[in-house]
Amino acid sequence: MKTSDFNSYKTRYRNAIRQVLAQAETGRLDESAFPAYSHRNAVINWLFWQRLRKVMEHIQRSSPYERALDFGCGSGVMLPYLSQISSQVVAMDVDLLPLERVQAHIPLAANVEVKDASKYSISSLPANSFDFIIALDVLEHVEDLPGTLNELLSLLKQGGQMIVSGPTENILYRIGRKVAGPEYSGAYHERGIAEIKNELTHISRIEPIAMLYWFMPLFEIFTAKKV
């Protein structure tokens, strides 16, 4: 993705999120990272969007795809991009209000199907059917990590991959959350990315994508490839 294309994508989505936040009840959309993607601080805003750019660049290399899954889609920030490089996209989350609010400003493409994870389990999706899955800053929230990871990997085609990102939860990350503002001080996370990565090493092949950043490791991004 060219820098100009990414910046246009970012500006469009960031403006939509800011409009949604202006009308939302305080704190309702914090866990879906609305404050981070629309933060007025240039450094914080850049860091969160840079995670998405790294993921976009990675999956673009092998595009186009037949089927993709956005597990924990949140506001749907990745869905416009996924709909361009995949014939079919499934978006899944336990809380679809953030996505519904954004849809008023950025409608979903016709090839995107939304699943309410509070009504449909991962196992309800067809096994061995997805080229890739993205699970961005969501696995740190789930209660049954081993079970969730096994179910997600079972959805991948042979050779498919799951792209994972998450917070390091180290001291720098925790300080950064406090500095960023009260929207980031909630106890949202069950675990950090290290625990997720360790669990996946037993059932998949791990390959790194990026560490943001080596001098201040706040987020890690990697792929878990089905073997």
Q: pLDDT tens for residues 165-208? A: 998 865 455 545 555 455 444 455 567 899 999 999 999 999 99
Strands (E), 183-227: 205-212, 219-225
| Average of per-residue pLDDT values in the chain | 87
pLDDT of 146 strictly over 90 = yes
Confirm if 95 and 123 have CB atoms less than 8 A apart. Answer: no
**Who contacts 157 (Cβ-Cβ below 8 Å, separation ≥6)?**
128, 129, 130, 131, 226
| Best mean pLDDT range from 8-17, 149-158, 213-222 | 149-158
How much is the pTM? 0.89
Residue type, 43: V
Confirm if 62 and 48 have CB atoms less than 8 A apart. Answer: no
Domain count along the chain = 1
What is the rounded average pLDDT of the residues 86-100? Answer: 96
pLDDT of 70 strictly over 80 = yes
CATH code for the domain of 94: 3.40.50.150
Give residue 30's pLDDT: 66
Give residue 25's pLDDT: 78
pLDDT tens-digit readout, 18-65: 898 888 777 677 676 777 777 777 777 888 899 999 999 999 999 999
Range of the domain at 135: 3-225
b/e 48-82 (16+ beta carbons within 10 angstroms → b): bbbbbbbbbebbeeeeebebbbbbbbbbbbbbbbb
